Structure formats: structure tokens, C-alpha cells
Amino acid sequence: MPETLFRDAATYLRPEDVAQLESAYRFSALAHEGQFRKTGDPYVSHPVAVAKILTQWHLDPQALIAALLHDVMEDTTVTKAEIAERFGRMVAELVDGVSKLDRIEFESHEQAQAENFRKMVLAMTRDVRVILIKLADRLHNMRTLDAMQAKKRARIARETLDIYAPIANRLGLNALYQELQELSFRHLYPVRYRVLHKALLAARGNRREVVDRILDAIRNKLAGSHIEAVVTGREKNLFSIYSKMQDKHLSFSQVFDIYGFRVVVRDVPACYLALGALHGLYKPIPGKFKDYIAIAKANGYQSLHTTLFGPFGMPLEVQIRTQEMHKIAEAGVASHWLYKQSDTELNDLQQKTHQWLQSLIEMQSQSGSSIEFLEHLKVDLFPDEVYVFTPKGLILSLPRGSTCVDFAYAVHTDIGNRCVAAKINQELVPLRTELKNGDRIEIITAAHAKPNPAWLNYVVTGKARSHIRHFLKTMQYEESSQLGERLLNQAIAALQPTAETIEDSAWDKLLRDVGSATREEVFADIGLGKQLAIVVARRLLTLGEGDGNSNRLPGSVMIRGSEGMALQYARCCNPIPGDPIIGYVKKGQGLVVHTHDCPIVRKMRGDPDKWLDVEWATDGKKLFAVNLRLVVSNELGTLARVAAEIADADSNVDNLSIEPGDSSAYSNMLFTLQVHNRLHLAQIMRGLRRIPAVIRVTRLKG
């Protein structure tokens, strides 16, 4: 069984390397002795098959040995130290990178899966051979998936389609990418696969004559133009046909371009000469030409793509590339091992792969959990791309659907964090504007700007999403910590006014009791409502010299309006400065401010420890949103007069909607205005009542 592996390896490895490979096989066979796969084969047949796949990419001896040993740490008693001692530290690192974290207990399968991906991706950023071994492992598992139960087959196929196939595509491993897609489709939708496969076999006979005619016509045209070329026809895989049917809502009979044609020429100038010749043979379809030679894909792929009107109106997809481009298109990052030329294409490819791997490290450091990191990774594996330009003419490739915010973070994290506006092709546009191929983008920044939580609704790149979330979490933590410190100090002052400071020993005991590392963590927990200031204050005073027996409640907390995310204004009553208010400490959200007459307050009075007296600070400068309903008569120019009155009162309209009234003579205008305080609101309402067409003005608190 392993003889073919050694024979394939011997075609490019030294005899001593092959001898070491044989030693690794014997070690693996002994470790897996008595173990069998679901197919009934000895377990060692699997690592041999994985290593054999890697020989197709001409991977080095260390990778092949690691492939033979990739399951021994997971499924046997062999340790990393034993592997390092026998086969070297590098092989041990590769095996460890591929091994799952099976010995750790996780709360759910999703968390275990996410943590395993996180471990594998981090190992991949140190050595890309980790992911090549893992992809070969997954390919062999998919080829032998029939032995599994239907439910497990579907789960593994979905995981392959969502994660492993896109990673193969991102690394430029085109043949592997298509086979993983095809196998996933077969196991995920077996009935659809069989129906399509049968239809394709029937169509193949009907269209063979037409395809042969097209191949002859292309070859004759290129030969007549004195262009040396190898022309081949290829059938699209079933998954790409199925995806096209799904995306464009077509039946199989409506998908004409199930055949593609590839033209491989000598050099880059010949690519463009061949393109001109083919456009002279068949008319090109407008808007269906892509030049991936001038602007290569992120995974290093280069080709000219054009779609032509063929005989009988059949659309033909043609790829034109050089031999070097073809090697990279098929082997991607593995071409570094397969073809040892040090040409610029391979160097560029390695550089792009390295940049992507570095971005994964950065994304991982910003993600709060492994599940969040996996979500960001899935987002980052978009297959479609748009190519845009910086003001200096540099090309950036971004996922389709990317916005100006995604572009800003792609340029630099600081530019993303501080962006306030953008220009596309010299025109000012909103930050949420989607980018198109060829756009020239300029980002406008401000020193004190910061990310907006609303950006998370429309950014698509993993980098932008992870940085925005990280910034917001950090900002919330800092603001909660500041609020929590104020609440705690006021609680201590109310319980024991004579206590100027709390002793360090009391703080040390408290931190040990609650399991926090720093005082800031305790402050943040108080600010977020996870702990009550009054309870923490009593414990600190009890642990210190004070008796802590006082039952007095803390004094009022001053609300300035600038506390940020750690303090919220209840939407049920929308309090503004001047309204009598009360604060409720809500777990995980911090301090929520309500008006005294809010119906929610009456319902929740049963837990007095969670209510705090709060007051408005007199020096607050924040603008607050307030809702007004105006009943107006349907007269010409009423809206203009109302808007002018609001502007004269130094207010701004955030939102406006108009609803029909109780009769056709009246309408309801619903405004959201920005006001400084209750006096400012009263001034606006008095001005609105002076307008003859305004029948009634009321403030909406809900």
C-alpha cells in the first residue's frame, strides 16, 4: 500500500529522504496498530493517502513525514516530545498544528470547532504547510465520506464548503478547490447531484459535436494569426452549474455555458494577441471581459477572461494565460514547492499569501472569542472581488459588496478608526457606499473621530468588522470602568463619610474573592451592572477597618450626558435634562436612566438595591433626542413653516414621518428633534403652537 507513496516521493526527493519517509510510515503503522477506519481499512491507509496527495505538490520531506504522523497525537498515546526527538522539532510543530484540541472540554460542538479552526489558522500563519496538510487530510476524508452516517456526512460537507474549499481557493489551489466543492455538493444534496449528473451526461452527447467544432475554429484562427497555443475544452463542475442555476433562477436547459475553453500561450503579449484574434472570430459579450493579468487576483491568479457569442448563440467562456500562469492557477501557493523557479510571479504570490496570513493574526488578536474569529474568517473568504485604487494609484482587492469603511481599514487600522467621510472618483459619498471595480477612493479622517457601531451593519471584510468590535469593546470597558469608579466612590462616601481611602489589603482580599485581576475590572463590572456599587462598597468597608454596618444609600449620581456606552437612556420614556430621573443598574448594560413617571419604573420597584438616585449636571452640553407629535390642518406650506420654526429655535430634525389624521382635513407629523434640555423643548413647543395650522403639540415619551 505505501509503495506507490515511496515511488512518487522518489521522483523528486533524495534517497535518504525517502528512507526517512519509510521510517515515519513504520512509526505511524505501529502507533495506529489495531485501529480501523469506518470503511474497514487499516487506519494507517489514511495518513498514507494524505501524504500521497502532498507528493503531487512536491512538498518537502518534513511535510510528508508530518502527513504520515498527523493523527498520532490525536488518536494514540504518542506525544509531541516523542515526535520531536525522532523526526525533529519542525515535524513535531507541523503535526501539532494539524492536531485537534480533543482533550479539552468545550461547552458545545460549535465552540470546539471554532477553537480548532483558530488553533489551525494560527499554526498556518507560522507555516503554510499546516493548511496544505489539513486540506489534503480533508480531501481524502471527503473522498471516503460514504462510510459515515448521513447526518455526519452533511455536517462535514457543509463545513468543507464553508471553510476548507474557500481557503483552498484563497491559496490558489484551484483543482483542490473544485474537487472539494464537487464532493461537498454530492454529500450535502445527493438527490440534486444525481439529477444534475444525469442531465449533464445526456447533454454531453448532444453538445460534443458543437464543442469539437468550436475547438477546431479556435485552433485554426490562432494558427492563422501565427500564435502558438494549446487549446482545450473543459466541462464546468456540477457545483458551479448548480450555483449558477440558484443565483440566476435558471433550469438546467437554460444554462448554455457548461463548457469553458482554455488557451495557453507562450508569453504575456501573446495573451493579448490571442484575445484580439478570438474577438475577431466570435463577437464578445459587452461587460464580460476581465483582465486578471494587469490586475491579478489576491491569490496570485492571472488570466484574461472573455465571454463570446458562439455558434447558435451559445455563450463561450474563454481563459487565456501563459504556461507560468497556468501552473499558479492550478497549484497556487503549492507552486512554490512544485516549480522552483524564482520568477516574479511566484515571489508576488508568496508575498500576497504572507500578507493574508498576517491579516489573520491581526484579526485573531482583535477577536474576543474563537467563534467570533471563525465568523470573521468566513467573511474574509469571499470568492468575488472588486479592485479599487488608492489616491496614489495602488491597487487593493476587496470582497464584492465592500464599502468605503472596508477600504479605510484595508489601507490602515488608524485610517479606519478615524474616517469621517470618503470621496469616490473625486465626489463626496456616504461611508456606506459600495465600491465598484476601478473606483479611486480617498478617505477623509479627523483626529478625534472614532468607529460608529452602525458600521457593523454594512462592512463586509473580516478585518474591518474585528477592528470595529475591538474598538467598541475597549471603549465600553474604559467608559464602564470610569462610571463604576464614580458609583463606588459615592457608595463608600454615603456608607462611611469618614473613610477617605480604602486600604490596599481590603482591595487585595476583594480581588481574590471575586476573581478579578485588577481594580479596573471591578469598576467595569459595576459600571456594566454585573455588580452593585453598594454591595462592593460594604464588602470593602467590612474587609477594611470600617464596620460596614450602615444601611444608608449612596448619594445621587450626577449625569452629564457624556458618559458614553456605560450609561443608557431608557427608550420607554426618553428622559432629557430637566426631567425628574432615577437610575436602574441593569446587568450587562450598566446604568439605565428613566423618568420618575415611567410605567416601567413602577413595575420594577420590587428590587430597591438596583435603583440609584441620579441628577442632571448643570454643565451638560449633549443634545438629546425627543419625539413630538403635531396634529396639523392640511394647508399648503405647513411643513415648511414648522421646519422653519424648529430651525429658528436652534434645534435639528433627526427624523420625520407624516401619517393621515382622523379625517382628511388633518395629518399627524411625527418629529424626532435634538434638544439641550426641557426648557429648550418648551421653547420649541411654544413656537410651534403659535403657527395657525398647528392644532396640537404633544411630547411622546414611548
Highest averaged pLDDT of the listed ranges 138-152, 291-305, 372-386, 564-578: 138-152
* Long-range pairs, 267-271, Cβ under 8 A, ≥24: 267/322, 268/293, 268/322, 270/227, 270/228, 270/229, 270/322, 271/304, 271/320, 271/321, 271/322
Q: Tell me, what's the pLDDT at 552?
A: 43
Phi and psi torsions of 443, nearest 5°: -100, 135
Are 421 and 353 within one domain? yes
Average pLDDT over residues 139-146: 91
Question: Could you give the CA distance from residue 142 to residue 447 in angstroms, rounded to a whole number?
Answer: 52
C-alpha cell read off for 457: 451593519
Examine residue 617 and state whether it is found in any structural domain, yes or no: no
Domain boundary residue, one of 426, 441, 460: 460
CB 572 within 8 A of CB 600: yes
List pLDDT tens digits, range 598-626: 888 877 766 665 677 788 877 767 888 89
Are 152 and 135 within one domain? yes
Q: Tell me, what's the pLDDT at 52?
A: 93
List pLDDT tens digits, range 50-64: 999 999 888 889 999
pTM across the whole model = 0.60
Half-sphere exposure at residue 373, Cβ-oriented, CA atoms within 13 angstroms: 24
Per the annotation, the verdict on 503 as an active-site residue is: no
Examine residue 610 and state whether it is found in any structural domain, yes or no: no
Domain boundary residue, one of 155, 188, 221: 188
Mean pLDDT is lowest, of 154-158, 332-336, 342-346, 394-398, for 342-346
Q: Predicted confidence band at 276 (pLDDT cuts at 50, 70, 90)?
A: very high
CATH number at residue 666: 3.30.70.260
Examine residue 608 and state whether it is found in any structural domain, yes or no: no
Q: Tell me, what's the pLDDT at 244?
A: 81
Q: Predicted confidence band at 640 (pLDDT cuts at 50, 70, 90)?
A: very high
Check whether 208 has a pLDDT greater than 80: no
Question: Could you give the CA distance from residue 645 to residue 237 in angstroms, rounded to a whole number?
Answer: 66
Are 156 and 83 within one domain? yes
Question: Could you give the CA distance from residue 258 to residue 250 in angstroms, rounded to a whole number?
Answer: 13
Exactly one of 41, 60, 75, 182 is catalytic; which is it? 75
Are 421 and 379 within one domain? yes
Examine residue 619 and state whether it is found in any structural domain, yes or no: no
Query: Nearest CA to 239 among 285, 187, 289?
Result: 187
Average pLDDT over residues 402-412: 92
Mean pLDDT is lowest, of 18-27, 513-522, 590-599, for 513-522
Examine residue 46 and state whether it is found in any structural domain, yes or no: yes
CATH number at residue 263: 3.30.460.10
Q: Tell me, what's the pLDDT at 691?
A: 93
Are 14 and 147 within one domain? yes
Higher-confidence residue of 372 and 33: namely: 33
Check whether 663 has a pLDDT greater than 80: no
List pLDDT tens digits, range 429-481: 999 999 988 889 999 999 888 888 889 888 988 888 888 888 887 877 788 88
Are 334 and 364 within one domain? no
Are 223 and 326 within one domain? yes
Average pLDDT over residues 400-415: 91
Q: Predicted confidence band at 36 (pLDDT cuts at 50, 70, 90)?
A: confident
Question: Could you give the CA distance from residue 539 to residue 502 in angstroms, rounded to a whole number?
Answer: 11
Average pLDDT over residues 299-320: 85
Examine residue 121 and state whether it is found in any structural domain, yes or no: yes
Check whether 533 has a pLDDT greater than 90: no
Higher-confidence residue of 380 and 18: namely: 18
Q: Tell me, what's the pLDDT at 548?
A: 42
Q: Tell me, what's the pLDDT at 360?
A: 67
Q: Tell me, what's the pLDDT at 607?
A: 67
Q: Tell me, what's the pLDDT at 106?
A: 45
List pLDDT tens digits, range 580-590: 998 887 765 66
Are 69 and 184 within one domain? yes
Strand partners, 558: 615
Q: What is the mean pLDDT of the chain?
A: 82
Are 25 and 129 within one domain? yes
Highest averaged pLDDT of the listed ranges 144-148, 274-278, 384-388, 548-552: 274-278
Exactly one of 8, 17, 41, 74 is catalytic; which is it? 74
Q: Domain range spanning residue 642?
A: 624-700
Check whether 351 has a pLDDT greater than 70: no
Q: Tell me, what's the pLDDT at 485?
A: 85
Are 213 and 305 within one domain? yes
Per the annotation, the verdict on 654 as an active-site residue is: no
Phi and psi torsions of 556, nearest 5°: -70, 140
Question: Could you give the CA distance from residue 617 to residue 561 in angstroms, rounded to a whole number?
Answer: 8
What is the number of structural domains in the chain?
A: 5
Of the chain, the percentage scoring pLDDT greater than 90 comes to 27
Are 141 and 201 within one domain? no
List pLDDT tens digits, range 77-114: 888 888 999 999 999 988 888 876 444 444 556 666 66
Domain boundary residue, one of 158, 188, 218: 188
Phi and psi torsions of 70, nearest 5°: -65, -20
Q: Cα-Cα-Cα-Cα dihedral of 380, 385, 386, 389, to 10°?
A: 60
Higher-confidence residue of 385 and 647: namely: 647
Q: Tell me, what's the pLDDT at 373?
A: 65
Q: Tell me, what's the pLDDT at 119?
A: 67
CATH number at residue 452: 3.10.20.30
Q: Kindly provide the residue ranges of all beta strands, DSSP E only, lying in 504-620, ordered along the sequence.
A: 557-559, 567-569, 581-586, 590-595, 611-616
List pLDDT tens digits, range 211-261: 888 899 999 999 999 999 999 887 778 888 888 888 778 887 777 667 789
Examine residue 611 and state whether it is found in any structural domain, yes or no: no
Instruction: Please name the helix (run of DSSP H) or strand (run of DSSP E) that holds residue 52, with its range, or none.
Output: helix 45-55
Examine residue 615 and state whether it is found in any structural domain, yes or no: no
Are 360 and 455 within one domain? yes
